[in-house]
Chain A
Amino acid sequence: MFSQTKKQLALSLAGMLLTTSVFAASHREAPLISLDPAADITDFYAFRSPTDPDKAVFVMNVIPAQEPGSGPNYFNFDDEVLYEIYIDNNKNNIARNIVYQFQFKTEVRSPGDVFTLSYAALPPITALDGPGSEGFILRQSYTVTEKRFGQTSKTLGSGMMFAVPSNVGPRTLPDYEGLAQQGIYPLSNGGRVFAGQRDETFYIDLGAVFDTLNLRTSPILSQTEDADDGQNVFGAVDAFSGFNVNSIAIEVPIAELMGADGNKVIGAYAATSRPRVRVLRRDNRRTNSNFYAQVARMGNPLVNELIIPTDTKDKWNANFSEFEAQFLKYYCNSSLAVALNTVFGTNFPTDNRDDLANLFLRYGDGAITNICSQSSPSGRLADFLRLNLDVEPTNPFSQRRLGPFATDTAGNPTPDLAGFPNGRRPNDDVTDIALRAVGGALINTGVPALGDGVNFNIGSPSSDITPNGIAVAFPFLPTPHDGRNRRHIDPGETP
């Protein structure tokens, strides 16, 4: 360019598209929109352990849609984020009876003298600590704290606990599952804890659903299709196949969870927070590290995605789940029902959806209470997962994705009461259940078998799973896909 004459230069500049420095130099263009993956809760699960029925398991997943090969940094929890699971055990829709808190601390061990990559491990990583862990350069330890209302906090772990690193590949981590097992630690309350990467079990034809319900097949499944939890309807694509997620899983004895009066119906949600900070340090009046700003929360699945409108999401995320009454209109007036009716010509009820409001926001005591038509409904409304710890867990090999709406190939009801909306298990088909609930299945038995066509977690590389991808042991999430060999299954492909 600089061998040209001045005139040519001027002409070529005039012809070029300039990102003019008028703006670049004297006008800052700082980022305006950011995601916060380490604090982004993708899913929250609560269920009775099928292997230890006297225990319950809570899992919060963060850092969505992880492409397994994402070196060199891969995926880590954030030291600044406070990860929490809130429990209500006296049915007053305030989940402060018990709070489990998880905080991480990152260390960079040994002067990366050979490689600057966190996970280029010579020798390969076969242990989280001690011999065999020399290659584990970027390592995160964490603490688990229990806060019971009115009592002082209690540390539940004993000794150092480490997060299991991302599954880079078989050379770096030759026995990943063996290593992950080392990441299961006992807790002083008789439970266990795990933190680290796992396979994303949530399955949905995401592209089709959010392309205004542009499903690839009929939205109504045949009896055979609906009864088959191991086969996707032809053409339907699990957008999350081959992706991973970071999980924090805690197993707690039911005796520790239940209410003082023996109540076994609990409510729960997960939240992430960041410390409140001041722009200018000289203004820093924050001396108490308890000043946190909540960044994200999740009780029921798909509330944030399908019920809360986008320009309200930040406000919704910043509010505690116990203050859901301010968002009641979005539950009562179902825009998803409107969309279904518009796209498929159905006639599902679109407003006064007391059934949905009760399902998501109150403990069901049988009757559906009138909330939607009241200007100020009495009683607190909270977005919790609600789990009845008296209901027996279902063996993973017999789990039905549709929970209470499960049927056999002849169309006879064969409900699995241990799944969503009774708590939520990792492999419950909350998309199909939500579609049917929005269609009115809670109040009307004639609602068709709506679904996105994706019925199971396909392509999991784990060995410890059922044929349809359900992990059979704590933390009940399959082995994550490894970065070197992962596959994202497309329509028509076999795993």
Chain B
Amino acid sequence: MQKKINFKNRNFIGTILLSIFLSLYTNGSLAWAASPEVSSIALSIAAVQAEIQRGRETGEVQYFERAERMLDAFPQKEKNVAKVLGLRAWIALFQHRFQSAVVLAKAAHLLEPTVAFYEGLLSDAYLELGEYDKAVTAAQGMLDLRPDQAALSRAAHLRSLHGDPEGAIDFWQHAIESGGGSPENTAWCQVELGDEYFHLGKGDKAEETYRAALETYPDYRRAFEGLGRLAAARDRNGEALIYYRKALAVVPALETAAALGEVHLALGNKIKAQKHFALVEHIAQLNRLNSGQNDRALALFYTDHDRNIEAAIRIAEAEASLRKDIHGADILGWAYFKAGRFEEAHTTMQAALRTGSRHSLIHFHAGMIAHALGQESTAVSHLDQALKQNPNFHSRHAATARKTLKHIRSKGGHS
């Protein structure tokens, strides 16, 4: 990623956000700046935030570790103030130490129950862990304190997870209209809304919304990815190439490289596809070096392309031991399926379905697993749901779903 220092650069915006965070969450009254003891704490917090921002930009573990060491060095009486605990919670989230994030965010929240920020961190941590009831409670706390874009974003996502896309859309629209701290935040919400439309099969509305996101925040990677996915699902592969390339140019993300490879496959460009799949592996390797972690997006990539299934299972199982969210369960279930471990796949898939999400991919996976187990009426119900919700949910998988349904129905009886 070229590090462009310009207004549109996502990371520059992140810096601005952190400056806003600093000004909002340190005492804004002028006495702060006047008192020498107090102002050195303010500077130290600013320094910690700069390290977090750097870590956020690069993904490198060292910055978060440095930020934590700096927090460790705070004078004893400052160590347990809400701000410090909140920063620790935020660092823990980035490092995927979600249990620690919960403990820290909860402590911050108890100290300062009227600061919505800490409820937000808490909701995020619970969400990543898959403790959805608690995530809902924390998000409700946030909504009750300040029904603003940050709170509505979390509530919208939780609605989507619980199978209420229309309710999610309502909140995304409010989140977008109410405006926020930065264009990137609003664009983020617009992409989420676009994704919601996509999952509902409303391709035109999705496209309109992704484009609106680009107007809000030009060259927004996530908007390009949304447009790319939509185009690929509609078999408009030339278009998909353009969008995914733009996304890759901003950030060489693993999923983007995988998606580009997928598009090249669809176009019959085997060599280019392989190049991108190799790129996926390289990015994964660099991620491991940087952060010491494996990415479960890599696991999904492996299973989608029937390669390294054992590695996929290892990665997904390791993740699932740390967090019980439905995406992890979905990825692991699909990996078990590809390994022929259908019973385990079925059990794991139930965890993915437990919140009632209506996203087609989950139902596609569930349907294929049920079919492998000979549970044909369950299979039909899931595959039907996947296609009814979004007939173009994925060019390859949607076709597989249709083929499988046809096969089951032609075998006899099941409708």
> Which positions in A face B, CB cutoff 8 Å?
1-2, 6, 9-10, 13-14, 16-39, 78, 80, 210, 212-213, 274-283, 293, 295, 306-315, 318, 330, 335-336, 338-339, 342-343
Contacts and interface: CB of A to CB of B under 8 A. Distances in A.
Contacts of A1: 249
Nearest to B171: A277
Contacts of A212: 30, 33-34
B162 A20 contact: no
Nearest to A63: B179
A327 to B, nearest CB: 12
Interface string B277-317: 01100110011001101011100000000000000000000
Contacts of A24: 251, 253
B12 to A, nearest CB: 12
A78 B177 contact: yes
Which of A34, A275, A307 gathers most chain B CB within 10 Å?
A34
B30 A306 contact: yes
18 contacts: A16-B2, A18-B252, A19-B253, A21-B256, A27-B94, A27-B96, A30-B157, A31-B150, A34-B148, A34-B180, A34-B185, A210-B30, A279-B140, A280-B136, A281-B159, A335-B30, A335-B31, A336-B30
A31 to B, nearest CB: 4
Contacts, number: 245
Contact of B297 (A6, A26, A293, A315): A26
Contacts of A34: 146, 148-150, 178-181, 185
A35 B179 contact: yes
Contact of A213 (B2, B30, B114, B144): B30
B144 A20 contact: no
Contact of A33 (B57, B117, B278): B117
A311 B251 contact: no
A33 B296 contact: no
Contact of B278 (A6, A78, A336): A6
A30 B178 CA distance: 15
B3, B11, B128, B143 interface centre (most CB from chain A within 10 Å): B143
Nearest to B272: A2
Interface in B105-153: 112, 114-117, 120-121, 124, 127-128, 136, 139-140, 143-150, 153
B81 to A, nearest CB: 10
A318 B24 CA distance: 16
B154 interface: yes
- Interface residue range, chain B: 35 or more
Interface of B: 1-3, 10-11, 17, 20-21, 23-35, 56-59, 82-83, 93-94, 96, 112, 114-117, 120-121, 124, 127-128, 136, 139-140, 143-150, 153-155, 157-159, 162, 164, 167, 171, 174, 177-182, 185, 188-189, 249, 251-256, 272, 275, 278-279, 282-283, 286-287, 290-291, 293, 295-297, 319, 327-328
A17 B150 contact: no
A99 B93 CA distance: 45
A38 B279 contact: no
Contact of A36 (B17, B178, B286): B178
A281 B162 CA distance: 10
Contacts of A309: 27-29
A451 to B, nearest CB: 16
Contacts of A22: 59, 96, 287, 290-291, 293, 295
Contacts of B295: 21-22, 25-26
